Amino acid sequence: MRQRSVHHLLAAFALLLAAGVAWAQASPAGLWKTIDDNTKKEKSLVRIVESGGIYTGRVEKILDTTAPPDAVCKDCTDERKDKPVLGMTILRNVRQDADDKSLFGGGDILDPNNGKVYSVRLKPIDNGARLEVRGYIGAPLLGRTQTWIRAE
């Protein structure tokens, strides 16, 4: 009887662990390789972190070999103007959707190449292996989507 209880306890622990891993994969938190939606080339690594239910993303590494290593956001119009792209927060104030837990939005994303800020919607796909990042103005139908690949 005691051995059966240990097996039940281990099975319950394994289920809890699996549920935790599944939740973590459904979250946009992590390190992401950004892919240019036009050229399909790797651009950067962006780390998305969550604090108090709010997600932010920062450029951790520039992978584009044609980009200058000391690139700055010369076209930005906010506090990021003329600041280095490396280390820049490009994703701000994103929250999990209250109605659809598979979506994250409400924040904005900066394109440091042109200084434009767009509303953003994130959707983890393929069990969290990829992230659909949709930047838009007004409604999500009016925008473009990049698919980022989880790097870790």
Q: Which residue has the higher pLDDT, 141 or 27?
A: 27
Contact between 13 and 123 under an 8 Å Cβ cutoff? The reply is no
77, 115 contact by CB (below 8 A): yes
Q: How do 89-96 and 104-111 pair as beta strands?
A: antiparallel
8 Å CB contact between 122 and 105? yes
Q: By C-alpha distance, which of 124, 140, 141, 143 is closest to 132?
A: 124
- N-to-C CA span, the chain: 42
- The per-residue pLDDT for range 48-68, each reduced to its tens digit, is 999 999 999 999 999 999 989
Query: pLDDT digit string (tens) for 62-108?
Result: 999 998 989 999 999 999 999 999 999 999 999 999 999 999 999 99
Token pair belonging to 149: 């690949």
The closest of 135, 113, 122 to 59, measured between CA atoms, is 113
Residue 23 in this model has a pLDDT that exceeds 50: no
